């Protein structure tokens, strides 16, 4: 027991020292990075080379040396012939958007779109692999406006949905001239929802007063702590209805073929049913679509990687170090206890 007490004391001192070092490093990083804004870098990968690499790796595993030699000779001649011809293949710019409730990926999306619009032509195409269950109205409104820039520039826009594009996700998807969905992807949810708890009765039960002072009749409609009124509920519902109507108008603008009142009920459909509702145009995975396009176009995957600030990098490194030290010491403590 005396050994364990000493070891616990040593562990506490070590952790305290590491935490103190972390605090100093983070503070220095914050002071150094004050006033600076973290930038990012556009990363471009040619997907044709990626697909070619997959095929070649499989060929090396399955074909004999003589077969590989013959194949390389054949492909070499084809490559030489292709190099002599003018490179007039259309380009396909591939973007990814994985959305959270705040549509945080918009920060990268906006830079990716700005970059491609400097070079893209009407003969090119933009493919967005979209995955989102929706979120905040204003956040997804901004994300949708970024995609609308592509349409406004006259560049064909294709949206590929492999898993889900619902609510704000479908608000983005509907901007595409073509929407391609996997058979069992989730689509739709053209509706608006808001919910919040109210603990006013609990506060009253414990004789706790909560006051809300406002200037403006509808500055507050429903609250968590205050006593909600029927008038406030009606105004809140009215705001939801207005937002829903704007959502319907937005979808109708880009997909006029929809029976909007039939699909704007907040329901969701799987891809096989969504194609019948005209929510999507074709059933196919993004992998299938892109591999087909790679046969006659140059595919470029664009990703704007945000650079982490010095403060963030130091914080992550320090956090990892603390976890490693604590984990190591804990394991040694367990070993000394059981051995």
Domain ranges, ordered by start, for the chain: 2-36+310-338, 40-62+87-189+267-306, 191-258
What backbone torsions phi and psi does residue 328 show, to the nearest 5 degrees?
Answer: -65, -45
Residue 30 confidence (pLDDT)? 56
Lowest mean pLDDT, pick from 17-31, 93-107, 205-219: 17-31
Give the count of alpha carbons within 13 A of 210, CB side only.
15
CA atoms within 13 A on the CB side of 154: 5
Q: Which residue carries 């490194």 as its tokens?
A: 317
Q: How confident is the model at residue 181 (pLDDT cuts 50, 70, 90)?
A: very high
Kind and range of the H or E element at 279? none
Q: What is the pTM assigned to this prediction?
A: 0.76
pLDDT digits (tens, 9 = 90+) for 42-82: 999 999 998 888 888 888 888 887 777 777 777 666 566 55
pLDDT band of 339, cuts 50, 70, 90 = very low
- Indicate whether 112 pLDDT > 90: yes
Say how many Å lie between the first and final Cα of the chain, rounded: 14
- Cα gap 187→173, rounded to integer Å: 9
* Distances in whole angstroms, Cα of residue 58 to Cα of each of 55, 107, 235, 255: 5, 38, 63, 42
Stronger pLDDT, 166 or 295, i.e. the higher one: 166
Residue 336 a catalytic site member: no
Whole-number pLDDT of residue 60: 83
pLDDT at 338: 41
CATH number for the region 40-62+87-189+267-306 comes to 3.90.226.10
The proportion of the chain whose per-residue pLDDT surpasses 90, expressed as a percent, equals 58
Phi-psi group of 196: left, alpha or beta (phi > 0 → left; psi -120 to 50 → alpha; rest → beta): beta
| DSSP code of residue 226 | S
In the set 34, 65, 80, 219, the catalytic residue is 219
Is 69 considered catalytic here? no
Q: Examine the pLDDT at 326 and tell me if it is beyond 90.
A: no
Beta bridge partners of 128: 95, 159
Q: Which of 133-137, 219-223, 315-319 has the weakest average pLDDT?
A: 315-319
Closest CA to 131 of 98, 102, 167: 98
What are the angstrom distances between the C-alpha of 269 and each of 166, 177, 190, 194?
Answer: 9, 20, 11, 21
Q: Is residue 1 predicted with pLDDT exceeding 50? A: yes
Q: Say which of 139, 167, 181, 286 is annotated catalytic.
A: 167
State mean pLDDT over 162-179. 97
Q: Where are the alpha helices (DSSP H) in the chain?
A: 2-33, 47-62, 65-84, 106-116, 137-152, 168-173, 200-205, 230-254, 260-263, 271-274, 286-293, 310-338
Three-state DSSP at 281 gives coil
Summarize the confidence of residues 101-106 as an average pLDDT.
Answer: 96
């Amino acid at each position: 027991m005396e050994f364990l007490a000493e070891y616990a004391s040593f562990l506490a001192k070590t952790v305290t020292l590491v935490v103190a070092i972390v605090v100093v490093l983070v503070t220095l990083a914050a002071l150094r990075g004050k006033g600076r804004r973290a930038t990012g870098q556009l990363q471009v990968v040619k997907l044709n080379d990626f697909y070619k690499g997959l095929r070649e790796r499989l060929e090396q595993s399955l074909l004999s040396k003589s077969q590989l030699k013959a194949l390389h000779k054949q492909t070499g001649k084809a490559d030489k012939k292709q190099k002599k011809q003018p490179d007039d293949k259309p380009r396909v710019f591939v973007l990814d958007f994985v959305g959270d409730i705040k549509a945080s990926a918009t920060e990268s999306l906006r830079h990716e779109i700005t970059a491609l619009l400097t070079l893209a032509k009407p003969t090119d195409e933009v493919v967005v692999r979209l995955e989102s269950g929706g979120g905040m109205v204003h956040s997804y409104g901004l994300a949708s406006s970024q995609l609308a820039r592509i349409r406004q520039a006259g560049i064909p826009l294709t949206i590929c949905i492999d898993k889900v594009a619902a609510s704000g996700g479908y608000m983005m998807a509907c901007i595409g001239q073509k929407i391609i969905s996997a058979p069992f992807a989730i689509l739709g949810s053209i509706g608006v929802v808001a919910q919040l708890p109210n603990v006013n009765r609990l506060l009253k039960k414990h004789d706790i007063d909560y006051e809300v002072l406002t200037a403006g009749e509808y500055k507050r409609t429903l609250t968590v702590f205050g006593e909600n009124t029927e008038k406030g509920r009606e105004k809140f519902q009215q705001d939801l209805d207005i937002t829903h109507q704007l959502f319907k108008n937005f979808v109708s603008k880009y997909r006029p073929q929809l029976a909007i009142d039939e699909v704007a009920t907040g329901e969701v459909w799987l891809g096989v049913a969504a194609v019948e509702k005209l929510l999507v145009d074709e059933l196919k995975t993004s992998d299938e679509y892109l591999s087909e396009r790679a046969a006659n176009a140059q595919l470029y995957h664009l990703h704007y990687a945000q650079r982490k600030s010095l403060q963030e990098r130091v914080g992550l490194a320090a956090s990892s170090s603390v976890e490693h030290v604590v984990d190591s010491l804990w394991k040694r403590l367990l070993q000394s206890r059981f051995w």
